[in-house]
Amino acid sequence: MKELEITSVQNDVVKFAVKLQNTKYRKTQKLIFVDGDKTMAGLIDDGIEFEYIFLKKNNSYLGKIKAKEIIYVNDKILEKISSVVTPCSMAGIIKEPEIDFSNFKTLKKIVLLEGIRDAGNLGTIIRSANAFSMDGIVLVNDCVDIYNPKTIRAAAQNMFKIPVITADIKFVNELKKNHTLISTVVNSKNDFVQYKFPDNFIIAFGSEAFGLSDSIINLSDDKLTLFMDNNVESLNLAVCSSIAFALIKLNQRFILS
């Protein structure tokens, strides 16, 4: 483990950390920038290895860190690289995990997200999916970057506990050979609460603004609606999916009993 101290915001490593917050550049480097004290603390506690970690010398987590290089910095540098309004006390760079797409064919409970543009919503969905034992998440059709810093913070330490990939419709068709594709829509006659989920399934949610596309709906084996009371027309996507995951877990418990 190397250790280095940097005092200038013009240092090349500092500039590199800032550039990683640009999605296109991040993807070319296959690296992830993370910040936010709660997020960083959770990653350290989980034993995640950092390529670089930026923090001050008096940080209480120093003895727990796994990193190729520890970089001691001052408040000005933390403020420069931070993606949050209130600068945090540490930040890091992690290598993007390599996920074998073929493993998804062996998963039982898969979440499909189409056209999700809100990074906070995506992070919350990842968090809820892990909380209610979904097995993996597939993003299709122009979703927000999985490793957007806001997504990672909203996932609240769950970012690397459930596999999340970006794929295409062709891959969805491959998954359909062994999975039932179930679309969530606003106008079906099938009540989500009453549906009996099969062993292997894909549950699909559409974008915040437009819902699922016709291409996904037409591929579906079933369509479900989460009926609501008191003339409530819609819910936030992350709230809706979280309720759905909880209902699926409850549904499967009844089947097993």
Question: Taking the domains of the chain in order of start, what are their residue ranges?
Answer: 2-95, 101-256
Q: How confident is the model at residue 250 (pLDDT cuts 50, 70, 90)?
A: confident
Instruction: Output the pLDDT for position 253.
Output: 63
| Residue 103 burial (CB count, 10 A) | 12
Using left for φ > 0, alpha for ψ between -120 and 50, and beta otherwise, residue 153 falls in alpha
Q: Model confidence at 236, in pLDDT bands (50, 70, 90)?
A: confident
pLDDT of residue 224: 93
* CATH architecture classification, 101-256: 3-Layer(aba) Sandwich (3.40)
CATH class entry, domain 2-95: alpha beta
Angle at 22 between CA 79 and CA 242, to 5 degrees: 90
pLDDT tens figures, 156-176: 889 999 999 999 999 999 999
Rounded to 5 degrees, what angle do the CA atoms 154, 243, 181 make?
100
The pTM score is 0.90
pLDDT for res 257? 44
Tokens matching residue 123: 């992070």
Distance from C-alpha of 241 to C-alpha of 228, rounded to nearest angstrom: 14
Q: What is the mean pLDDT of residues 42-56?
A: 94
User: What pLDDT is attached to residue 252?
Assistant: 66
Q: What is the mean pLDDT of residues 228-245?
A: 84
With 90 as the cut, is the pLDDT of residue 209 above it? Answer: no
- Evaluate if residue 249 carries a pLDDT over 80: yes
CA distance 62 to 144: 33
Q: Read off the amino acid at residue 98.
A: E
Type of residue numbered 39: T
| pLDDT above 90 for 152 | yes
pLDDT of residue 254: 56
| 223 has a pLDDT exceeding 50 | yes
